[in-house]
């Protein structure tokens, strides 16, 4: 496991997220009320870029394609793809799958991710 410095903690306000790279790994860094978190960059349904999604309910990322929701802190599926109507046919092939998450620390004001 490698520790990769991403940015200054002050660069990402509470409620914001951004796509970053940690070495070869693409991920999304989030700043929630209780700290920083990181998930894989693409949805597990059919790989939409989560950077184009939005944070809802303070701690969930909603996918921009079919509105799957994941808990940012754990990666767990909160609600699977449900939009537009008919996407359930696709879901027969694309079963629920959690996002991968990565440990994040703030050290001396710098955000560090373990990948
Ligand atoms: S690609 Fe994310 S819900 Fe379909």
The pLDDT score that the predictor gives to residue 10 is: 97
- Ligand 1 touching residue 99 (CB < 6 A): no
The pLDDT score that the predictor gives to residue 55 is: 98
The pLDDT score that the predictor gives to residue 31 is: 98
The residue segments making up the domain with residue 96 are: 3-114
Query: Which of 40, 41, 46 has most ligand 1 atoms within 8 Å of its beta carbon, as the pocket-test mutant?
Result: 46
The atom number, within ligand 1, closest to the CA of 81 reads 3
Nearest to 72 by CA among 53, 48, 85, 87: 53
pLDDT in tens, the chain (115 residues): 899 999 999 999 999 999 999 999 999 999 999 999 999 999 999 999 999 999 999 999 999 999 999 999 999 999 999 999 999 999 999 999 999 999 999 999 999 999 9
The pLDDT score that the predictor gives to residue 4 is: 96
Give the CATH number of the domain where residue 66 resides.
2.102.10.10
- Ligand 1 touching residue 43 (CB < 6 A): yes
Domain count, the chain: 1
Q: Is the dihedral of CA 45, 51, 54, 60 positive or negative?
A: positive
95-to-3, 23, 34, 98, 112 alpha-carbon distances in Å = 32, 29, 30, 10, 32
Residue 71 tokens read as 């808990």
The pLDDT score that the predictor gives to residue 1 is: 86
Cα 8 to Cα 55: distance, rounded to the nearest angstrom? 21
Nearest CA to ligand 1 atom 3: 66
48-to-35, 42, 63, 88, 104 alpha-carbon distances in Å = 25, 5, 7, 17, 23
């Amino acid at each position: 496991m490698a520790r990769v410095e991403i940015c200054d903690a002050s660069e990402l306000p509470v409620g914001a997220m951004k796509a970053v790279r940690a070495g070869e790994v693409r991920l999304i860094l989030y700043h929630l009320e209780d700290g920083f978190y990181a998930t894989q960059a693409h949805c597990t349904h059919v790989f939409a870029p989560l950077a184009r999604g939005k944070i809802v309910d303070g701690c969930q990322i909603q996918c921009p394609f079919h509105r799957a929701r994941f808990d940012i802190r754990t990666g767990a599926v909160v609600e699977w793809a449900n939009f537009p109507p008919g996407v359930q046919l696709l879901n027969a092939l694309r079963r629920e799958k959690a996002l991968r998450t990565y440990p994040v620390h703030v050290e001396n004001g710098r955000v560090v991710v373990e990948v």
